Amino acid sequence: MARTAFGSYTLDEMIARLKKYTPSEGLELVEKAFEFATRAHFGQVRRSGEPYVTHPISVASVLVELQLDAQSIAAALLHDTVEDVEGVTLEVIEKEFGTEIKTLVDGVTKLGKLDFIDREEQQAESWRKMILAMGKDIRVIIIKLADRLHNMRTLTYQGKDRQVAIARETLDIYAPLAHRLGMYTIKAEIEDLALRYIDPEGYKDVATKVGQKRIEREEQIKTIISTLSEKIREMGITNFEIEGRPKHLYSIYRKMVIQNRAFDQIYDLIAVRVIVDTIPECYTVLGIAHTLWTQMPGRFKDYISTPKFNMYQSLHTTLIGGRTIPSPFEVQIRTREMHRVAEYGIAAHWNYKEGSTDGDFDKKLYWLRQILDWQSETRDSKEFIDGLKTDLYSDDIFVFTPKGDILNLQRGATPLDFAYRIHSHVGNSCVGAKVNGKMVPLATELETGDRVEVLTSSNSKGPSMDWLNVVKTQQAKTKIRQYFKKELRGENIQKGRDMLEHEAKRRGVKLGDLTKPEYYENLLKRYSFPDLEALYGAVGYNGIASVYVISHLIEEQRRQTDQTSTKKAASLPEPKQIQHQGKPTHGIYVEGGSGMLVRFGQCCNPVPGDDINGYITRGRGVTVHKSDCVNIVSAEPERLINVSWADEDAGNFNAGLRVLVYDSPNILGEIMMFIANSGTPVAAGMQEEVKKGIRKLHLVIQVSSREQVKNVLTRLQKRSDVLEAYRSAK
């Protein structure tokens, strides 16, 4: 049962594979989504030069291999349409494909680039949005993992800095998520692909070492398979499979680099996997293996009786074979169902046709419920990302309650974490703990197999703020914060107000000038705060950072100030219909006829299609400004004059652009060439570093209309290396 090599299918190939497990109405849905995506992405091209639609088709193909339902595959085909195709909205998707698919597409669609302090906040909130969508439908993350898998396969077409950034995010978030969901096939491939870009030399070194004795290892594997197969048949087991188990490079790299182990100290480079029908046959094969070869002490693991947190089940044993097989080798033994779950994880467990799962499903996804629990109380973007990484990276331990029930906690957890894992009240009233019958400090680190008893008291004064430094799980930290939020509300409100006043003063503004409803209403809405006091309280109990709140309020104040200027411009008298007398000057008709010198304001660079006003300049004729230009809004009314664009082509006009991009070699030249190739000349360009890895490009393009500017911006905003693109004054 070899691991599937995920590929990209044509529509006919996709339908042929779907027919094996999907009803006819599902096939029609996929065909419709395929055609919709092909039309929507028509004309769009990936960096590789391929049509853009090859990406959603490749993502859908991965899900076909996982045998996901038709709704998931349709959503995969449509997953980039809302984000990357003008005119396609979630409402359009819902109208064409229904609420279920709209919800899946929305779950994997990143938040827009507006209304965020910086990219870190935008990324954090996009992840929060996806985690919430996962809680409603786990298929969201399965689609997202397939999406990342294909992006990693085509990462070579990105700039070097972008490659490293994407690879790092893959190892930080996506690979741990795949691990948590038990999706080993995807996890192994994206880790290997990420390693190529994060540490090319390390990747090459491991690949070279693995390849040096490949033929020798293959001969030893053949010997193991032959010997073991013969003995299994002698025991009357006829329906079994044995294969060499490939070890992915990143796993070896971690052991060599992170655990500082020599290459010859890695004992599972030679490994075989035995797949049988039943659990009793698993243990029979284990006994056979232990009679054939010598077991290495401490290297046997029974994940059948005690499965991993991600549903993984198998028997693992490391053996020494003597002269014929001098190197230690590993044997894994599992049933066919266990193998399917080991390869595909949550995708193998989810029964979409019936809308239900096996009875233990909720327990297997307890870690997700924990994340959903604490994220709602975590307002700070950086804290959310740090907490997410902590929860995803942590290994689990298994401890016992006094009644013998098993609870899983992340490694490093303390008796206090255990108490809050049971119930908030148990944690809040905890006064001590026993581990294996002995009193221990509450900061004691628990280990698998410990029996933990929590001592509580009705006279307890509740948790201490110091407990936040004792507990390790985000769930416990959230419950402690909730306690202080409720019990110390008044104190937190005052503390939060003081913290905000201090931060505002540091930024040179008054808090009173910022705490106006029009400035803070969006912030309350985003985080579901009922009123301003709730926001103060959240700052007071460290639920949201004061620096973030003040930054948001300042940005909102600036934005609305700009809008006020625009409204003032809009209140100017509408230009009168100008009688076209004589010829226009530079494409402009001026009230009263021709003969006046016409020039364009360099402060706003108007182009045909913009609303414009004229300003009579002493000795210099008429200067044409955009109607919302600050210089025309504040101009002397008696010096304003009506102007309008001529209908005929008046040549090219300069328009300023600002483009925020990921830094990469020659990024300015690349963007300028991209614009020029679209048929729009670039008159000038310069760049500045905003912060490490991010650059702002200042461009001047030559256009004949406002619509042409809009088209250039639309094309720029679809590039993966562009964060923002907008028109500027200069």
| Residue positions annotated with a catalytic role | 83-84
Structure tokens at 16: 């042929």
Q: Do residues 41 and 56 make contact, with C-beta atoms less than 8 angstroms apart?
A: yes
Letter string b/e over residues 602-623, b meaning 16 or more CB atoms within 10 A of that residue's CB: eebbbbbbbbbbbbbeeeebbb
Instruction: Report the run of H or E that residue 279 belongs to, with start and end.
Output: helix 279-292
| Per-residue CA distances from 236 to 272, 284, 335 (Å) | 20, 10, 16
Of 727, 721, 724, nearest to 159 by C-alpha is 721
Q: Do residues 76 and 6 make contact, with C-beta atoms less than 8 angstroms apart?
A: no
C-alpha–C-alpha distance, residues 145 and 62, integer Å = 10
Distance of CA 627 to the CA centre of its chain: 41
What is the biggest distance separating any 2 CA atoms in the chain, rounded to whole angstroms? 108
C-alpha–C-alpha distance, residues 652 and 683, integer Å = 11
Give me the count of residues in the chain.
730
Count the neighbouring beta carbons within 10 Å of the beta carbon of residue 347: 27
C-alpha–C-alpha distance, residues 259 and 256, integer Å = 6
| Per-residue CA distances from 359 to 71, 169, 346, 362 (Å) | 23, 34, 14, 7
> How open is the CA angle 707-709-710, to the nearest 5 degrees?
65
For 74-98, give the secondary structure using H, E and C. HHHHHCCHHHHCCCCCHHHHHHHHC
Count the neighbouring beta carbons within 10 Å of the beta carbon of residue 219: 13
Of 32, 42, 44, 37, nearest to 58 by C-alpha is 37
Residues 6+ apart with CB under 8 A from 564: none
Beta bridge partners of residue 317, listed in sequence order: 300, 331
Instruction: Report the run of H or E that residue 476 belongs to, with start and end.
Output: helix 474-487
Q: Do residues 563 and 518 make contact, with C-beta atoms less than 8 angstroms apart?
A: no
Residues 6+ apart with CB under 8 A from 396: 308, 309, 408, 409, 410, 411
Q: Do residues 622 and 643 make contact, with C-beta atoms less than 8 angstroms apart?
A: yes
Residues 6+ apart with CB under 8 A from 322: 293, 294
Beta strand 271-276 with 329-335 is parallel
What is the amino acid identity at position 707? E
User: Helix or strand or coil: residue 563?
Assistant: helix
What is the amino acid identity at position 16? A
C-alpha–C-alpha distance, residues 562 and 115, integer Å = 15
